[in-house]
Each structure stands twice: as structure tokens, then as C-alpha cells.
């Protein structure tokens, strides 16, 4: 069941304020992924989970502030909130079980890297950001 929009507004803004495009419907996801056939696209499955607040969102912010190659597109869906959009985004990699928060990196429309919740929780934002920078540098252009 979705949380109050007022409660999650700061969680959404933590990503949109740094350039993420929020995808709220299945059509939004299809349009965005149609544009993601060239270059790199970072997708963050946002969440109210504690590791989203303590590691995932802060780690993403730090990684993007660093000197790593930056993904061409930054997209986000909010798991357990924008249910239709989240399901549609997951349909782009159906063999990977749902996980939130989680992070997907696409290159030229193909999923090249996925970070599930269990690789985010119990970490600090700085070490998570360092891992993300490595991924950006490996797959960036």
C-alpha cells in the first residue's frame, strides 16, 4: 500500500533535485527507455527502506558528484508507490527478482549492471559511491 505523498516527497526530491527524471507511469517508462537505446542510463528504484535513506540515495549523490564518468540519463521509479511504473521498468529485465532499493545500469538499451538491496544495505554511503563510480567508469563512454 502506498505511503502518503507528503511523507515520500523528500525521498523523491533527493533524486530529482540532482537531475533524475521521475517515471510515474508505465508510459513514462516506455518513453524513457525508448530514448535509452544509446549511451548509458542509470535507473534507481527508490524506496522508503532504511538502506535507501542511509546508503542508496546518498551513495548515488556522492557517486554523481565525483570524477567518474557520469551516465547519460538518470531515471527513477519509486517502488511501492508508483506501482505501474515500477512493474514496467522491471519488465526490461524480467529474470532479476524485485528488490528495493536497487540500481540498474543500461548501456545502449541493454542491462549491463544491477545492484540489489542486499548489496546496498549494511554499507556506508561513501563505499557504495566508490563502487558506483567504478561501474560508471567501466561502462561509461
In the predicted model, is pLDDT for residue 95 greater than 70? yes
The angle, 0 to 180 degrees and rounded to 10, between the axes of the packed helices 83-90 and 26-34 is: 40
| pLDDT tens digits along 10-57 | 999 999 999 999 999 999 999 999 999 999 999 999 998 877 788 999
Catalogue all structural domains in the chain, each as residue range(s) with its CATH number.
5-139 (3.40.30.10)
Torsion angles phi and psi, residue 96, rounded to 5: -105, 125
pTM: 0.95
CB 96 within 8 A of CB 114: yes
Sorting pLDDT into bands at 50, 70 and 90, what band is 1? low
The answer to whether the bond into 101 is cis (omega within 30° of 0) is: yes
| pLDDT tens digits along 52-83 | 788 999 999 999 997 879 999 999 999 989 99
Pick from 132, 126, 94, 128: nearest CA to 113: 132
Q: Which residues contact 8 (CB under 8 A, 6 or more apart)?
A: 48, 78, 81
Interatomic CA distance for residues 133 and 59, integer angstroms: 10
Place of cell 556506508: 124
Amino acid at each position: 500500500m502506498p505511503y502518503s505523498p507528503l511523507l515520500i516527497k523528500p525521498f523523491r526530491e533527493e533524486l530529482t533535485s540532482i537531475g533524475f527524471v521521475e517515471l510515474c507511469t508505465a508510459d513514462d517508462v516506455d518513453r524513457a527507455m525508448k530514448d535509452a537505446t544509446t549511451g548509458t542510463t542509470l535507473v534507481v528504484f527508490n524506496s522508503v527502506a532504511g538502506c535507501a535513506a542511509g546508503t542508496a540515495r546518498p551513495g548515488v549523490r556522492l557517486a554523481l558528484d565525483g570524477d567518474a564518468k557520469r551516465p547519460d540519463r538518470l531515471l527513477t521509479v519509486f517502488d511501492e508507490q508508483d506501482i505501474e511504473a515500477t512493474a514496467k521498468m522491471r519488465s526490461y529485465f524480467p529474470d532479476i527478482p524485485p528488490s528495493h532499493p536497487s540500481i540498474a545500469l543500461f548501456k545502449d538499451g541493454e542491462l549491463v549492471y544491477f545492484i540489489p538491496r542486499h548489496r546496498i544495505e549494511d554499507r556506508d554511503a561513501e563505499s557504495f559511491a566508490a563502487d558506483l563510480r567504478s561501474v560508471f567508469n567501466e561502462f561509461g563512454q
